[in-house]
């Protein structure tokens, strides 16, 4: 595991690391949208889209914002295509609508895809205890509430005594439908209404028409949910970085001692005298964070107040004629 992480860290430092991160984020985001149907899938997609490219070296928030917009614009294209495939593949599974208690069984629609004459037949078998059966039909393109339609009772009875009901739907609007059935009361007797599970169908549109509707829906949902969450996370990351940088600047300013005219200053932590250019206090080891561009650092051990000599790099006490610091390995001239 350590070796794998080390490999990833090495890749993230390459010039092509961000490109690899973007490709991985797009693939994983697509797989999550298509195959992981849980309540927090949208959160996972936004996290993947942001943090994988960031981990692989895309540190600029400007380019992270550009990538976020590209992700939102491109992801709906393959996602919509996959949803069209799912819709057309649904028929091959042979699903039927039935209630949990099996008093309503074998429900479906014929044909499943675009009808040549614009007519669709819905059918279901119901227990004789029901006074009728209702069809609840929803056009996903246009409707927000399913239409309730009373089905026609036929004279056809199954071997187990169930009665067949049908409904002939003519001139359906162009759309992508879902439906379910519900048994209703008989002769004023209050029976508990029983519903079947919902099924997809029919698809009363061409494949291209269905794809365009799926694409429109995908753009709305991905931009609204994934996009908003992505940019919210990016803003939080940006704010955290700015706060951390401000803290580091404040910390550096507080730890930077004031150098006197004689080139000596006092350690802000223990008040010991220190020669200009020394990075560490010889008394307590405090790091002064002095900008090396502003000072000249002696290349030989410096002499302290008690005639002792110290390394100019790490503050370790050394011999006056020492050529190498035993603490950090610095060579003296």
pLDDT at 307: 67
Mean pLDDT of the chain: 84
Q: What is the 3-state secondary structure (H, E, C) of 123-183?
A: EEEECCCCCEEEEEEEECCCCCCCEEEECEEEEEECCCCCEEEEEEEECCCCEEEEEEEEE
When pLDDT is cut at 50, 70 and 90, the band that residue 14 belongs to is confident
Lowest mean pLDDT among 89-98, 152-161, 179-188: 179-188
Torsion angle, CA of 316/321/324/327, rounded to 10 degrees? -10
Summarised one tens digit per residue, pLDDT across range 101-116 is 899 999 999 999 998 8
89's tokens: 């593949």
The whole-number pLDDT of residue 83 equals 93
Pairing of β 104-110 and β 199-204? unpaired
Tell me the domain boundaries of the chain: 2-74+213-244, 95-205, 261-333
- What pLDDT was estimated at residue 291? 46
The yes-or-no verdict on residue 290 having pLDDT over 70 is no
Rounded Cα distance, 118 and 125, in Å = 24
pLDDT digits (tens, 9 = 90+) for 24-76: 999 999 999 999 888 889 999 999 999 999 988 888 999 999 999 999 999 99
Percent with pLDDT over 70 in the chain: 81
pLDDT tens-digit readout, 299-327:
566 666 566 777 777 667 777 777 777 66
Predicted confidence (pLDDT) per residue in 227-250, tens digit: 999 999 999 999 998 898 888 777
**How many CA atoms lie less than 13 Å away from 259 in the CB half-sphere?**
15
**pLDDT in the model for residue 293:** 41
- Tell the CATH topology of 95-205: Immunoglobulin-like (2.60.40)
Q: What's the rounded Cα separation, in Å, for the pair 235 and 258? A: 37
| pLDDT given at position 37 | 84
What percent of the chain stands above pLDDT 90?
51
pLDDT, position 294: 43
Report yes or no: 109 and 179 within 8 Å, Cβ to Cβ.
yes
């Amino acid at each position: 595991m350590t070796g794998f992480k080390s490999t990833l860290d090495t890749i993230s430092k390459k010039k092509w690391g961000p490109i690899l991160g973007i490709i991985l984020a797009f693939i994983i985001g697509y797989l999550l949208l298509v195959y992981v149907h849980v309540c927090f899938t949208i959160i996972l997609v936004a996290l993947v889209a942001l943090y994988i490219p960031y981990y692989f070296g895309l540190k600029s928030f400007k380019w992270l914002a550009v990538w976020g917009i590209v992700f939102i614009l491109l992801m709906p294209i393959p996602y919509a295509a996959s949803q069209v495939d799912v819709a057309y593949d649904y028929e091959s599974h042979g699903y039927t609508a039935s209630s949990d208690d099996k008093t309503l069984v074998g429900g479906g629609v014929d044909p499943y895809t675009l009808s040549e004459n614009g007519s669709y037949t819905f059918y279901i078998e119901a227990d004789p205890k029901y006074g009728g059966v209702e069809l609840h039909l929803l056009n996903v393109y246009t409707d927000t509430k399913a239409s309730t339609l009373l089905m026609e009772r036929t004279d056809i009875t199954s071997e187990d005594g169930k009665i067949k009901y049908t409904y002939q739907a003519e001139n359906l609007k162009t759309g992508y439908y879902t439906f379910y059935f519900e048994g209703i009361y008989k002769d004023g007797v209050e029976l508990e209404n029983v519903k079947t599970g919902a099924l997809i169908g029919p698809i009363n549109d061409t494949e291209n028409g269905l794809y365009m509707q799926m694409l429109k829906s995908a753009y709305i949902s991905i931009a609204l949910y994934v996009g908003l969450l992505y940019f919210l996370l990016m803003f939080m990351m940006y704010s955290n970085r700015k706060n951390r940088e401000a803290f580091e600047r404040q910390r550096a300013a507080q730890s930077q001692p004031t150098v006197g005219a004689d080139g000596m200053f006092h350690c802000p932590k223990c008040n010991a005298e220190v020669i200009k250019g020394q990075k560490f206090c010889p008394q307590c080891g405090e790091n002064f964070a002095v900008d090396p561009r502003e000072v000249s650092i002696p290349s030989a051990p410096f002499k302290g107040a008690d005639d002792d000599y110290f390394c100019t790099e790490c503050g370790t006490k050394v011999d006056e004629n020492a050529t190498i610091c035993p603490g950090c390995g610095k060579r003296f001239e």
